[in-house]
Amino acid sequence: MKAVYAIVTVPAAPVRKAPNHRREMSNQLFFGEPVQITGQKDNQWLKVKSLYDGYTGWLTPHLVKGIDAATAMQESPFLASQFLTKIELANQLMQVPLGSTLPDFKKKEGVIAGIPYSCATQAINTATIKNKQAQLLENAHQWLNAPYLWGGKTILGVDCSGFAQTQYKLVGLPILRDAWEQALQGRPVPSLKKVQPADLAFFEDKGKIVHVGILLDSTTIIHAAGKVRIDPIDNKGIVNSDTGMRTHQLKCIRRFIE
């Protein structure tokens, strides 16, 4: 069977665990993200696999438009640069989230699924970012107090692994979606004494990876827990800076920027 592809043409498409609006939202796919369609149900739901990170789930057909394989495989270093970035698509305004991909983009204009669009705001060009570590940390601090949302990846709601993945995407470094997957990537760091800023720390519950955060240094971490916040960390894990309670048990540390 020939593979079928599509691309997201709305700001942030909710992806669900099962083909039902009442089922859990497990992810969001942003404008410009290509997917492979791997199944469908009742002509009302599509099962898709993200070509960015391989994540799968269900969404409704009106959130995407079909594209050919060659277009689906094209990569763009250009990303939306504002928390809500204004674009004009087919003579209609749209606000897309920070980190949305701008496909086939040049001189503030592009084409998505054969439809022309424009973006007057200066885009992020990840190919030109020289100090990825410093840029990632600067970006992450701008997300402070963003509320926690399971499956979310925007400033209006984000989960722990979505926060980590988005910060790395913004500097041109793709990592996988879920914390347990991210913990299998990168290079292991033996202890907090050996960490560098922007390393990812992973936390466990009953032996399973359940949380991830971005280390600012060997004693502090920025992470999405209730909201995006900065807390102290030690060899045992995270301590909530407001309550003094230990909230997460440290499992391992991985490095993605050398």
First to last CA, the chain: 41
What DSSP string describes 102-143?
-TT-BTTEEEETTEEEE--SPPEEGGG-S-HHHHHHHHHHTT
CA 242 to chain centroid, in Å, comes to: 27
**Structure-block tokens of residue 235:** 């060899």
Of 21, 119, 160, 252, the active-site residue reads 160
Annotated catalytic residue 160: yes
Give the active site residue among 119, 141, 223, 248: 223
Identified catalytic residue from 119, 141, 211, 248? 211
**252 classed as catalytic:** no
Is there a contact between 238 and 213 (Cβ–Cβ < 8 Å)?
A: yes
Q: How far apart are CA 34 and CA 223, in angstroms?
A: 28
Q: Is 223 a known active-site residue?
A: yes
- Distance (Å, whole) CA 203 – CA 164: 14
Q: Which residues are part of the catalytic machinery? A: 160, 211, 223
